[in-house]
Each structure stands twice: as structure tokens, then as C-alpha cells.
């Protein structure tokens, strides 16, 4: 074998080693991107950490209004006769306590719900953003589906009958 051929072979071997060194970090970066995207689309919604609630004998779920003073949306799960129903309650920046099903008229079939970013609720399926002060006011489309609630004696009251009306979303 000539010196020239030996140098060519050596160069080819170095190229193969360099390509292998770049492949692993590339695969790891791609894996991180896919994992992050899956988390955003599937796992960052409130339902994963939803607190299970039960109704009193009078068919009312009672939540302490003071629990919502921080402005963070809290997600809840109610076990209805037809299956689980998830919803969230948030005190918007205007001070109003609002409630909505963790679903909308458009994306509910995907069962991805919403997440909160700042003072907005974000649909985990389509990425639409909704100011929290519009929850319970604007309905239809991808807006969070309103859930009737009352405020009395320092408690947020949600009727089981109102929850059952939204069972179709789940």
C-alpha cells in the first residue's frame, strides 16, 4: 500500500469517528425537544395535579374563597356518575373568582385542557390564550367553557347539577 493510500484511509477513519461524536449529541437534543413538546401538549395541563373534590349531601361543592387569593388557577376533579369531570377556579386580576370546565367546545375531544401562564389560560391543544378576566364571560369556540358558581359566606359554591351539564366534554 502506498503512502498516499495510507493517508486516505487514515482520513476516512477520522471522518467516521467525528460523525459518531456528533450523532449522539444530536440524538440527545432531538429527544429533549420531543420530550419537551410532549410535556407541553399532553402533560402541562392542570388535570394531572387536579385535586379530587366531593359534594356535600345537598349536592354542592364548597371551596374556600381565600384559597384563590394568589391568582393561580387551581384544578379540580369531580367523579360524576358518568365519569370524571375536571374544572378550574381562578381569581382574575379584577378580583372576581371565576370557574370553567377544563375543556372547550372545539378541542374537548383531545382531553388536554388548559394551563395558566401569567394572567391567561392557554389551551393545551391549540395554544389559544384567554385572559382570565374573560373566563365565565366569553363562551364558545376555544374559550374555557363556563361553569356556574356562586360566592357565599367566604366560599365558592359549585352545584353538582352544573358540573353534570358539562359531562359531555369528558
Count of the separate structural domains present in the chain: 1
The CA distance from 101 to 45, in Å, is 13
Is residue 14 situated within a structural domain? no
In this prediction, residue 52 carries a pLDDT of 93
In terms of pLDDT, which residue wins out, 153 or 15? 153
Is residue 158 situated within a structural domain? yes
Q: For residue 125, what are the domain limits?
A: 51-169
CATH of the domain at 130: 2.102.10.10
Average pLDDT value for the chain: 84
Give which of 36, 28, 156, 14 is closest to 97, Cα–Cα: 156
Is residue 4 situated within a structural domain? no
Q: What is the pLDDT of residues 115-154, one digit of tens each?
A: 999 999 999 999 999 999 999 998 888 899 999 999 999 9
Please state the rounded mean pLDDT for residues 43-55. 72
Percent of the chain with pLDDT over 70: 76
Please state the rounded mean pLDDT for residues 20-25. 63
In this prediction, residue 30 carries a pLDDT of 57
Is residue 127 situated within a structural domain? yes
Grid cell 371565576 is found at 98
Amino acid at each position: 500500500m502506498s503512502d498516499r493510500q495510507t493517508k486516505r484511509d487514515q482520513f476516512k477513519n477520522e471522518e467516521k469517528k467525528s460523525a459518531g461524536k456528533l450523532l449522539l449529541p444530536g440524538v440527545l437534543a432531538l429527544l429533549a425537544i420531543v420530550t419537551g413538546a410532549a410535556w407541553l401538549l399532553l402533560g402541562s395541563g392542570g388535570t394531572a395535579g387536579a385535586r379530587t373534590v366531593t359534594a356535600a349531601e345537598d349536592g354542592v361543592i364548597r371551596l374556600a374563597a381565600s384559597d384563590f387569593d394568589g391568582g393561580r388557577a387551581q384544578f379540580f376533579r369531580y367523579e360524576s356518575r358518568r365519569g370524571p369531570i375536571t374544572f378550574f377556579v381562578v381569581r382574575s386580576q379584577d378580583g372576581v373568582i371565576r370557574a370553567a370546565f377544563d375543556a372547550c367546545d372545539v378541542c374537548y375531544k383531545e382531553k388536554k385542557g388548559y394551563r395558566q401562564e401569567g394572567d391567561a389560560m392557554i389551551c393545551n391543544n391549540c395554544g389559544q390564550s384567554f385572559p382570565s378576566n374573560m373566563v365565565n364571560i366569553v363562551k364558545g369556540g376555544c374559550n374555557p367553557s363556563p361553569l356556574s358558581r356562586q360566592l357565599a359566606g367566604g366560599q365558592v359554591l359549585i352545584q353538582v347539577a352544573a358540573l353534570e351539564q358539562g359531562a359531555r366534554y369528558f
